[in-house]
């Protein structure tokens, strides 16, 4: 067990819709403070806290008594929130974090059908429609997604963090490819993500042995961008996210698409995609503002359009 992080390891306090800064509400980049839909009758709202603050959508897993193991309902809510972030012009970055001492212990397997009740094809369908859809939602989100990993990230929980564009980890965090311990094959995109991050041999080592990887070692391997003291995790995540939220949002989305696609394409295809992305981006207001600001030797004011 890792030690419980400081309360500041996640956004400091939580209101009905999620994390709230004790300094008071902040003005989003594009207008007044907004929060997610007030579906108070839906109990999942208390398990996936949500707020939009200063152009940043905060998604906080809030089931600490279960180390934030994901139920199917939580998974579907996360997928929906990520899709909403893509389509909402007022959201320009996303932070995914959690409460308690665990980031996410993986999928909640309680309630799964027993092996006697399964029909051939059921497991593959469950993986495609469940864990893989969640990882795809992170990879395909059109806004930058930051994982603020406050504790143990195991199995699908580790892959959820590693699918994010940037990964911040508290010193007490650790990453665990737990599947082998249960006699299972990695799912949730693990065999796709890990070799691309750290190479096939390192990926096999983690998956074959299932040893916990402390945050500092994860950073050395290239799984994590930065490790910070537990009490500074929320502050650093906010700083990174708000910096992204003031950037050229469409250019960042196209850059994310280019980098992700480049891992699966040849040079000619990657170069063609790059040229097309630049052609598309030059039609945006932010690109025109960036060039004008450069010529005028002033700081650009990007609006996410």
Chain position carrying tokens 């004008």: 292
- The residue-averaged pLDDT of 5-14 equals 38
User: Quick one: pLDDT at residue 82?
Assistant: 98
pTM of the model: 0.83
| Percent of the chain surpassing pLDDT 90 | 77
Distance CA 78, CA 137 (A): 8
The mean predicted confidence, pLDDT, of the chain is 87
User: Quick one: pLDDT at residue 168?
Assistant: 98
Res 285 pLDDT > 80:
yes
Closest CA relative to residue 11, chosen from 93, 89, 95, 74: 95
CA 263 to chain CA centroid, Å, is: 19
Chain position carrying tokens 């990007």: 302
User: Quick one: pLDDT at residue 32?
Assistant: 36
259 burial level (CB within 10 Å; 0-12, 13-18, 19+) = exposed
Closest CA relative to residue 262, chosen from 196, 217, 207: 196
Distance CA 60, CA 202 (A): 30
User: Quick one: pLDDT at residue 112?
Assistant: 57
User: Quick one: pLDDT at residue 113?
Assistant: 53
pLDDT band at 250 (very low <50, low <70, confident <90, very high): very high
pLDDT band at 14 (very low <50, low <70, confident <90, very high): very low
Res 21 pLDDT > 70:
no
CA 4 to chain CA centroid, Å, is: 21
Res 30 pLDDT > 70:
no
Name the residue with higher pLDDT: 27 or 45: 45
pLDDT band at 41 (very low <50, low <70, confident <90, very high): low
- The residue-averaged pLDDT of 27-55 equals 66
Res 73 pLDDT > 60:
yes
User: Quick one: pLDDT at residue 292?
Assistant: 93
């Amino acid at each position: 067990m890792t030690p419980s992080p400081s309360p500041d390891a996640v956004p400091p306090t939580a209101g009905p819709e999620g994390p709230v800064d004790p300094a008071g509400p902040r003005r989003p980049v594009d207008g007044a403070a907004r929060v997610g839909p007030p579906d108070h009758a839906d109990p999942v709202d208390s398990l996936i806290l949500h707020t939009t603050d200063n152009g940043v959508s905060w998604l906080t897993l809030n089931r600490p008594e279960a180390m934030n193991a994901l139920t199917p309902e939580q998974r579907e809510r996360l997928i929906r929130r990520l899709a909403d972030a893509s389509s909402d012009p007022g959201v320009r970055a996303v932070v995914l974090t959690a409460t308690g001492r665990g980031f996410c212990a993986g999928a909640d397997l309680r309630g799964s059908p027993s092996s006697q009740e399964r029909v051939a094809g059921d497991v593959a369908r469950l993986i495609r429609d469940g864990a893989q859809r969640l990882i795809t939602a992170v990879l395909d989100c059109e806004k930058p997604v930051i994982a603020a990993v406050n504790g143990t990230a195991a199995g699908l929980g580790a892959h959820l963090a590693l699918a994010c564009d940037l990964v911040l980890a508290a010193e007490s965090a650790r990453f665990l490819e737990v599947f082998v311990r249960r006699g299972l094959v990695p799912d949730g995109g693990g065999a796709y993500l890990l070799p691309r991050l750290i190479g096939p041999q390192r990926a096999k080592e983690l998956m074959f042995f299932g040893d916990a990887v402390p945050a500092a070692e994860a950073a050395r391997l290239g799984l994590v961008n930065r490790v910070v003291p537990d009490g500074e995790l929320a502050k650093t995540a906010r700083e990174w996210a708000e910096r992204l939220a003031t950037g050229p949002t469409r250019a960042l989305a196209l850059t994310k698409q280019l980098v992700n696609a480049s891992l699966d394409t040849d040079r000619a295809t990657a170069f063609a995609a790059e040229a097309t992305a630049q052609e598309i981006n030059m039609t945006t207001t932010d690109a025109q503002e960036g060039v004008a600001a450069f010529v005028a030797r002033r700081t650009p004011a990007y609006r996410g359009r």
